[in-house]
Amino acid sequence: MGLAWTSMGGSALYIETQSIERGKDGEGKPKGGGTLKTTGQLGEVMSESTQIAYTVARARLAQVEPESTYFEDYDIHMHVPEGATPKDGPSAGVTMVTAMLSLALDKPVKNDLAMTGEISLTGKVLPVGGIKEKTMAARRAGIKTIIFPHENKRDFDELPEYLKDGIDAHFASDYEEVFDVALGGQFALHAMHSQEL
């Protein structure tokens, strides 16, 4: 689950992903390379963020499971529900990468976890605004664990204790740290194990 800032305060932001198997050519190989389709009335900045997230997810999957052809074999459809509500901004980047990797690895994300953070092409987790509002939205949704960009740690530390109470906060500088919390495993060890196989 992602966290968004709106003019009405914070909001939970659900990201859904579905894979669609690509057609095969005469030799039984997938036609073309995998593509990403997005729906949910995304604004221009968020649409760009989906493309960056797709690239990062493909690159990270290649590190974790080098033999995987998942993104070549399948198209991905990503949907952000509540299509009547316009959505924009880059802060769902880490959530989108996680949703795609969860699908590709067939590994569910913890159900009491939310995250926020812009993602760069190299996998850096960049700071976002609205930390107070996003924390309040997470509490309303019953979330116990939140991943924030490392550069937003001070913003979280300055929140009133009643907002932080019972929240297991993690702070990430790189997507590997998000992967470790969200998908339950040490990224470096997972990648090393795959290379040894």
Closest to 32 measured CA to CA, from 71, 68, 59, 67: 71
110 is catalytic: no
- Candidate list 11, 49, 87, 134, residue with the active-site label: 134
Neighbour order of strands in the sheet with 9-13? 9-13, 2-6, 113-115, 145-149, 168-172
Instruction: Give CA–CA dist 103/114, Å, rounded.
Output: 17
- Candidate list 11, 49, 87, 91, residue with the active-site label: 91
134 is catalytic: yes
Q: What are the residues whose beta carbons fall under 8 Å from the beta carbon of 97, sequence distance 6 or more?
A: 53, 56, 57, 60, 119, 175, 178
Closest to 20 measured CA to CA, from 8, 4, 31: 31
Which residues belong to the active site?
91, 134
